[in-house]
Amino acid sequence: MKIVVLKFGGTSVGTIKKIKKVAEIVSSFKKKGFQIIVISSAMSGVTNDLVKKSKEISENFSEAEYDTLVSSGEQVACSLIAGSLIHKGFKSRSWLAWQVPIFTTGSHKNSRINNINKNKIMKYIKDGGVPIITGFQGINKEERITTIGRGGSDASAIMFAKFFKAERCIIFTDVEGIYTTDPNKIKKAKKIKVISYEEMLEMASLGAKVMQPVSIQDARLNRINIEVKSSFVNRSGTLITKRSNIINNKIITGISSTHNDAKITLIGVKDKPGVAASIFKPLSKNSINVDMVVQNISANGKETDLTFTIKKEDLNKTKKIMKDNQNINYRKLLFEKGVSKISIIGVGMITTPGVTFRMFQALANKRINIQVISTSEIKISVLIDKKDTTKALETLHKEFKLDN
């Protein structure tokens, strides 16, 4: 049995016209002899509207009721897709998470799928049906509806591909695939044909919005190949797969940029064991994610300047935490909002010397100053002035021959 999982995002089911297009895509796979499982998001804008309504009721809206509320959007979309397929002469019906059922663990608003009962769905598929299943949700051991966080419908599709041993898992969205950088910013951005889980995970973590990092990690752990493609044009997309499946002569696969960073610098911090922990512990307790960190020791070895980055929306909270922290001493506290993080990503840099030099030299030639640096095995990130973002992207895109 050739099973294919087709997942449609909010923009793909955003209007009745688009839902009819989804039905055409599903029917084309059915005619090719595939057994199909469809996973759908809510129509674009619906979930945000439901979240807004919850906040109008209460800023401390019950998390269990929140999941019940926001999961209703997927129910509407699935019913419309099933209805469209029935109109075209196919056997189809919508399935809510509790009807499958899809079992989850963890807290409301951020659960994870740990098991899917296959029996009913398999029987329905064998009887010639096309199940249209609500993404983004499941049920817990108390049989309450749960949701699985941002990118939840992608995670649902990946887990269905795992449990049903699907031949393919295709994520349909409003773009044609993954690009070397944001095509809205750089016109010469190119669609990537094949990318590794690790590279995609870095790009997703660094601002590429096509998929959420948690979904990529699920695919990587379960070795599920994912194809990302457009639901609006019939062209090949991007395959996300393991490194050993990729033959690539490019050192760098993609370049990402973020625009919601802020930089904090503590000048004249006493250099002694435990100081860094004292600085970052209260940030961790307040769920503030610290990204890039650099430390400079003074010549006398008694003081250090410590710089780190956070999300801009956490800046005011971080300011207060730093000023209220009685466990650290420093001479001056500096804050800067006008910064951007630029990252080059590629498994090719593991075996290629000189990548760091080429990146830094290319930026220097354009008189772009580097403020902070962080690296991993397949990524180099630098913090620069926000006004230089586009120039940096264009420079590095050309330097590493991604224009070609």
- Judged against a pLDDT cut of 80, whether residue 207 lies above it is answered with no
Torsions phi, psi of 202, nearest 5?
-65, -45
pLDDT tens string 234-246: 899 999 998 877 7
- Judged against a pLDDT cut of 90, whether residue 350 lies above it is answered with no
Strands (DSSP E) found in 312-367: 332-345
Question: Of the candidates 223, 317, 327, which has an alpha carbon nearest to the alpha carbon of residue 273?
Answer: 327
pLDDT tens string 249-276: 789 999 999 888 999 998 888 877 888 8
The per-residue pLDDT of the chain, averaged, comes to: 92
CATH number 3.40.1160.10 is the correct assignment for the domain at 3-174: yes
| DSSP single-letter state for residue 169 | E
Alpha-carbon distance of 26 to 80, in angstroms, equals 13
Two structure tokens written together for 401: 């021959």
Q: Cis omega (within 30 of 0) on the bond before 213?
A: no
Q: What is the pLDDT of residue 228?
A: 95
How confident is residue 211, by pLDDT bands cut at 50, 70 and 90?
Answer: confident
- Judged against a pLDDT cut of 90, whether residue 184 lies above it is answered with no
Residues ≥6 apart with Cβ < 8 Å to 132: 38, 40, 78, 79, 81, 82, 85, 92, 93, 94, 95
Sheet holding 379-385, edge to edge: 293-297, 303-311, 254-270, 332-345, 379-385, 372-376
Strands (DSSP E) found in 178-325: 194-196, 226-230, 238-241, 254-270, 293-297, 303-311
Instruction: Give the residue extent of every domain in the chain.
Output: 3-174
| DSSP single-letter state for residue 106 | S
